[in-house]
A = this chain, B = another copy of it.
């Protein structure tokens, strides 16, 4: 961490900064520039807030040097993390596709979708039982009933399942049915929830918050790893910007950025990102080309009748056409799918 002093800062103010640095357990070191003096903190600054020193008179601003995350970083683990789910390898050479409906609506709907996506090459079945909805008047999911349907469909198809968990006290029951726990974008910084899934034995897919920076996303993952659960999948699903012709703006560059700094697998959700079924295929190909380790795609047998997010769900026949394209793109960059 580096404290930048005002050009007119007095020696007494600088000494005040040095003392505060010592009180925080670090060693101060001055560097005198042409116009400005900076005072560096030598020591572990990971738990400190950059702003903590800004209040001191004579300080212009404070900048972080040491990255605030650790366990998720390539410095701690240079090689890629690979997560095993019932024989499916996530984060390895093969690009893995998760697919299924936004919400579980009925056994018939889920079974039909599961068979279709499995046949086309999906390896994990997605489906929502507890749904976070912007309006209290919208369909909120089937709840436990939805989880039971997922279990039945898993039993018949053999597909492992992923579903969202929305509050700490629901983690045990959801973990009983789900192979992977999903933390939704709105809960990326729900720290009580992150702490509880950090104690779970189930892999966790952590979705990026609507306005979360990449650093904040890695810090949210750090919460889970710090709890003891190292099986975390990062998922970029679009961020909020001024553009309204897509539901969110997919930050495609986040793929190489996350792969550079972290050993965790990186997924893309093209359905949430675009919000429109007709853009899902193009964006899915882009995600694989950018180096994503996998995709999570909304597929619904009858999107017009979907109880949630129909507009961004593709039909099983579109998904069946997309999979060979994804394989071709994966091969073009030296991977499989």
Q: Given A52-B311, A55-B303, answer yes or no on A35-B66 (Cβ-Cβ < 8 Å).
A: yes
Q: A279 to B257, Cβ gap below 8 A?
A: yes
Give the number of times this chain occurs in the complex, counting copies. Answer: 4
Q: Which one, A113-121, A147-155, A199-207, A268-276, is touching chain B?
A: A268-276
B329 touches A325 (CB 8 A): no
Q: How far is the CA of A310 from the CA of B23 in the complex (A)?
A: 15
In the complex, A202→B112 CA distance in Å? 46
Q: Is the CB–CB distance between A246 and B257 below 8 Å?
A: yes
A65 in contact with B193 (CB, 8 Å)? no
Q: Which stretch (A79-87, A93-101, A134-142, A172-180) binds chain B?
A: A134-142
Contact with B along A227-269 (1 / 0, CB 8 A): 0000000000001111111110111111111001000000000
A239 CA to B243 CA in the complex, in Å?
9
Q: How far is the CB of A116 from chain B (nearest CB, A)?
A: 17
Q: Is A110 an interface residue (CB 8 A)?
A: no
Given contacts A241-B242, A250-B252, A310-B52, contact A193 B167 (CB under 8 A): yes
A329 partner, pick from B32, B222, B332, beta carbons under 8 A: B332
The answer on a CB contact under 8 Å between B169 and A134 is no
Most chain B CB inside 10 Å of its own CB: which residue of A53, A138, A169: A138
Indicate which residue in B32, B55, B66 contacts A313 across the interface (CB closer than 8 Å).
B55
**A284–B33 Cα gap in the complex (Å)?**
36
Q: Is A282 an interface residue (CB 8 A)?
A: yes
Chain B CB within 10 A, most for which of A31, A239, A291: A31
Least Cβ distance of A2 to chain B in Å?
A: 6
Number of contacting residues on A, CB 8 A?
115
Q: How far is the CA of A285 from the CA of B278 in the complex (A)?
A: 21
Check: A89 CB closer than 8 A to any chain B CB. Answer: no
Specify which of B8, B29, B246, B329 is in contact with A333 (CB 8 Å cutoff): B329
With a cutoff of 8 Å between Cβ atoms, the chain B residues found around residue A320 in the complex are none
Count chain B CB atoms within 10 A of each CB in A193, A242, A277 and give the residue with the most.
A242
CB neighbours (8 Å) of A331 from chain B are 328, 332
Q: If A242-B240, A245-B214 touch, does A135 touch B51 (CB 8 Å cutoff)? A: no
In contact, B137 and A244 (Cβ under 8 angstroms): no
B137 A166 Cβ-Cβ under 8 A: no
Chain B residues lying within 8 Å of A310, measured Cβ to Cβ, are 49, 51-52, 55
Q: Which residues of B contact A210 (CB under 8 A)?
A: 209-211
A32 to B40, CA, bound (A): 10
14 contacts between A and B (CB under 8 A): A2-B65, A33-B66, A49-B311, A52-B311, A63-B63, A133-B191, A134-B216, A136-B223, A167-B167, A168-B169, A211-B211, A213-B245, A249-B251, A288-B289
Interface residues of A (CB under 8 A from B): 2, 4, 7-8, 20, 29, 31-36, 38, 40-44, 46-47, 49, 51-56, 63, 65-66, 68-69, 75, 132-140, 166-170, 186-187, 189-193, 209-211, 213-216, 219, 222-223, 226, 239-247, 249-257, 260, 273-279, 282-283, 285-291, 303-304, 306, 308-313, 325, 328-329, 331-333
